[in-house]
Each structure stands twice: as C-alpha cells, then as structure tokens.
C-alpha cells in the first residue's frame, strides 16, 4: 500500500510539474487581463503540434522542440489577443471568457483541418524505466518534469530580477498606476499574452512527449489547469504552482479509490470545494 501511494505521489509530482507550466500561464494572464482565458487549451494544442513538427520533421531534440512550441504558441497568443481580445478590452470578463472559448475552437479546428484527428507521437528514444527502491520512474516523465522546472525557474528570474518582470507584476497590481509611472500597459499586455500562451504551448509539448498529441490535447486538461489556478488563488504564480502539484497528486491518488477514467473529476471537485470554502484560494488575496 505504502509503495502504491509513494508511486502515485511521484507520478503526481511529475504530472503536476507539467500542469504547473500551463497553470502559471493561465494565472499570469488572469492577473493582468482579469478574465479566465480558456483559449489556453487551443494554444496548448497549437504549441504541441509546433513542437511535434520540430521534433519529427526537423529532428530537433525535446528541449528545442519545447522552445519551438513556446514560440509558436506565444505568437498565436499575441495574434489572437490582437485580433479578437484587444477590441474587447473594456468588455465584461464573461464576454472575454466566451471569446476565448471561441479562439480555442478556432485553433483546434484549424489543427484538425491541417493534421486530422489522428494521435501523433513524438520521436523520442525509448528507455527502460528507472527503478529506485519500490519506485518506478519513466525517464521521459522525469525529463519532462525537469524541463518544466527549468521553465519555471527562468520565469521566476524574469519576474523577480528584471525591470520588465516587475513592470508585469506592477501592471497586474494596478494598471492605472502603472501607466502613471510610465509603463506602456498595452505593450505589457502583449508580452503577458506571449509568455502566458507560450507557457501553454510548452506544457502542450511536454504533455505530448509524455503520451501523444491530438487537436483536443489542451481541452482535455484545461479543467485541471483552471482548477490548479483557482486552488492557488487566481492571479498568484506561486499559488498556481502549488495548486498544480496538489491537483497532479490528487488526480493520481484518486486512482486508488475510483477508476482512472474519473481522474478528470478531480479538478471539478477541487474548484467546487475552493469556491465553497476559500474563494481566494491558497495564496490569492484579491476577491474577484
């Protein structure tokens, strides 16, 4: 029993790390743009396909494929923001949320049009599981979690030590005051869309490298991503990381009591519980 729990915890930490990358993207966009951008799902898939093309057609190794997924999804993010969301900047959050669902549908269908519905796999070296004591770890999952953690560290450095990172946090705190201090908040918004959707794309590549990719890859995990962000407190980056690990572990652990197909319900239950008992999440401060 204890072995099973440890194994599930280890799996949960590894899937939580990947989830965290997407959840950071989700929560940082929420902090600045103040609405839940569900088009993250479509951008995850878009990034996954970009990474897959880089990997299978150009033979790039996973870290470089990850970078491609990041850049392409970030680019799509800036474009979709510019074309669809910018004209709606002053609209109510619900309007923006619905528009973001439409963006996601558009990207998913464009992918379906281009690549069909088939499951695709990355071209990665097969390796035998590592066995440490009772633990059995897939080298690919470990590498994915490592890449996710590297991405998070880079982001941490940007947010904490660069003036642009501070400007992003300042804009999230109070956009009007940021403008008074000379920050071009529209430019910051673009940058946040790029980084946020880029992270979604990177997470898409990592998910795809773990299993396989398809146009609905993002849609299948968006509830978990949203749950992680809500659990941590919408708008809080450390919160999103904590939330993602919590969701990842609980999703894995849930398999002890319910069949694996119910894993998806974990995010749903987590959202319900947070909204009922602590709407601001673990680390959230704002009530929105």
Q: Which residue, 144 or 171, has its beta carbon nearer to other proteins? A: 171
Told to check if 177 binds other proteins by CB under 8 A, we report yes
Size of the site for other proteins (CB under 8 A): 19
DSSP-derived 3-state class of residue 213:
strand
According to CB under 8 A, which residues from 24 to 53 bind other proteins? none
Of 183, 221, 225, 242, the one binding other proteins (CB under 8 A) is: 183
Residue 232, token pair as written in the block: 């941590």
Distance (Å, whole) CA 186 – CA 192: 10
Q: Which residue, 89 or 285, has its beta carbon nearer to other proteins? A: 285
Q: Which residue, 165 or 264, has its beta carbon nearer to other proteins? A: 165
Pairing mode of beta strands 135-137, 130-132? antiparallel
According to CB under 8 A, which residues from 139 to 168 bind other proteins? 163, 166-167
Strand partners, 137: 130
Q: Which residue, 129 or 173, has its beta carbon nearer to other proteins? A: 173
DSSP-derived 3-state class of residue 256:
helix
String of DSSP letters for 111-173: HHHHH-S--B-------PPEEETTEEE-HHHHHHHHHHHHHHHHHHHHHHHSHHHHHHHHHHH
Told to check if 190 binds other proteins by CB under 8 A, we report no
Told to check if 179 binds other proteins by CB under 8 A, we report yes
In contact, 119 and 127? CB cutoff 8 Å: no
Which uninterrupted H or E stretch holds 285? none
Told to check if 90 binds other proteins by CB under 8 A, we report no
Binding map of other proteins across residues 247-286, x = CB under 8 A, - = no contact: --------------------------------------x-
Footprint on this chain of other proteins (rule: CB under 8 A): 163, 166-167, 169-170, 172-174, 176-185, 285
């Amino acid at each position: 029993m204890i072995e099973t729990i440890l194994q599930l915890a280890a799996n949960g930490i590894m899937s939580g790390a990947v989830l965290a990358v997407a959840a950071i993207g989700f929560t940082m966009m929420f902090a600045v743009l103040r609405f839940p951008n569900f088009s993250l799902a479509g951008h995850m898939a878009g990034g996954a396909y970009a990474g897959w093309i880089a990997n299978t057609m150009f033979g790039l190794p996973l870290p470089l494929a990850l970078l491609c997924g990041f850049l392409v999804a970030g680019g799509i993010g800036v474009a979709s923001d510019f074309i669809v969301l910018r004209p709606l900047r002053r609209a109510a959050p619900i309007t923006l949320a619905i528009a973001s669902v439409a963006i996601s549908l558009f990207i998913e269908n464009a992918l379906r049009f281009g690549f069909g519905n088939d499951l695709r796999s990355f071209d990665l070296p097969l390796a035998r599981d590592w066995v440490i004591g009772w633990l059995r770890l897939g080298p690919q999952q470990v590498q994915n979690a490592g890449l996710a953690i590297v991405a998070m560290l880079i982001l941490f450095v940007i947010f904490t030590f660069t003036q642009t990172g501070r400007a992003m946090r300042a804009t999230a705190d109070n956009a009007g005051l940021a403008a008074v201090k000379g920050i071009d908040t529209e430019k910051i918004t673009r940058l946040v869309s790029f980084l946020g959707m880029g992270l979604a794309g990177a997470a898409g590549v990592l998910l795809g490298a773990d299993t396989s990719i398809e146009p609905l890859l993002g849609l299948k995990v968006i509830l978990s991503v949203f749950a992680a962000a809500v659990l941590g407190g919408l708008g809080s980056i450390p919160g999103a990381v904590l939330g993602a690990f919590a969701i990842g572990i609980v999703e894995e652990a849930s398999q002890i009591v319910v069949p694996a197909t119910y894993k998806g319900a974990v995010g749903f239950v987590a959202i319900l519980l947070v909204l009922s008992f602590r709407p601001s999440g673990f680390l959230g401060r704002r009530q929105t």
